[in-house]
């Protein structure tokens, strides 16, 4: 077990989840074709600042990623970026963040974001967002981490995916208890409350799954 995973498990075991100090947001590097997505991203960033939750994200200044970060900063919050060196130009690295980590690979980026965050929230996005979401969820399914995962459904963006997830349950490829590891809401405040409540419930149910054999 890597030191990073051991540290995560120990933090879970020590029960420090009751307060969500930081959240990793996965979302599109594109803005979407309807302003509703940018508005939702800005609102979410503002709410994070209001709740004094540090934003951890991919470090770009474009699309929904940039919109969340700018809104958090404008509202007086903290935004921390993690960006691979080779994506600095492509994703127009944000130059005014509270903290910035420049890493060497996509894998390092995800590991660093996961290390820095107490939970994850997914906003609308493309295949990069989906990849980040599914890896985070499969790690939760395997008991590698016990951090909450929330999906913000803007304008019904995720409804098709969740219909498909229901089909996976009906056909026997996804267990209902693993589906339940993810919270879905169209209301950002309700989503943040639900992820915090989920984290507290995990804390009460300690030790986390597999911790006994993993540590």
List interacting residues with ligand AMP (CB under 6 A).
28-30, 58, 60, 87, 91, 106, 109-110, 125-129, 131-132
Q: Based on CB atoms, which residue is closest to ligand AMP, 28 or 188?
A: 28
Q: Least distance to ligand AMP from the beta carbon of 215, Å?
A: 27
Q: Least distance to ligand AMP from the beta carbon of 15, Å?
A: 30
Q: Least distance to ligand AMP from the beta carbon of 32, Å?
A: 10
Residue nearest ligand AMP, CB atom distance: 128
Q: Based on CB atoms, which residue is closest to ligand AMP, 126 or 143?
A: 126
Q: Least distance to ligand AMP from the beta carbon of 92, Å?
A: 11
Q: Based on CB atoms, which residue is closest to ligand AMP, 37 or 198?
A: 37
- SS3 sequence of the chain: CCHHHHHHHHHHHCCCCCCCCEEEEECCCCCCCCHHHHHHHHHHHHHHHHCCCEEEECCECCHHHHHHHHHHHHCCCCEEEEEEHHHCCCCCECCCCCEEEEECCHHHHHHHHHHHCCCEEECCCCHHHHHHHHHHHHHHHCCCCCCCEEEECCCCCCHHHHHHHHHHHHCCCCCHHHHCCEEEECCHHHHHHHHHHHHHHHHHCCCCCCHHHHC
Q: Based on CB atoms, which residue is closest to ligand AMP, 61 or 202?
A: 61
């Amino acid at each position: 077990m890597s030191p990073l995973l051991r540290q995560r498990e120990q933090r879970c075991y020590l029960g420090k989840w009751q307060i969500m100090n930081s959240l990793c947001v996965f979302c599109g590097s594109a803005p979407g074709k309807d302003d509703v997505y940018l508005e939702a991203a800005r609102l979410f960033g503002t709410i994070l600042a209001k709740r004094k939750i540090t934003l951890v994200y991919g470090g770009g200044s474009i699309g929904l990623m940039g919109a969340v970060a700018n809104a958090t900063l404008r509202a007086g919050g903290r935004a921390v970026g993690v960006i691979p060196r080779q994506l600095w130009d492509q994703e127009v690295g944000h130059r005014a963040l509270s903290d910035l980590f420049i890493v060497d690979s996509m894998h390092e980026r995800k590991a660093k974001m996961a290390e820095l965050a107490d939970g994850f929230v997914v906003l609308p996005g493309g295949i990069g967002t989906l990849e980040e979401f599914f890896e985070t969820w499969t790690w939760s399914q395997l008991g590698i981490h016990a951090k909450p995962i929330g999906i913000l459904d803007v304008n019904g963006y995720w409804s098709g995916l969740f219909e498909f997830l229901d089909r996976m349950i009906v056909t026997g490829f996804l267990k209902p208890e693993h589906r339940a590891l993810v919270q879905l809401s169209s209301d950002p405040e309700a989503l943040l409350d639900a992820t915090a409540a989920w984290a507290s419930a995990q804390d009460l149910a300690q030790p986390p799954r597999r911790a006994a054999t993993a540590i």
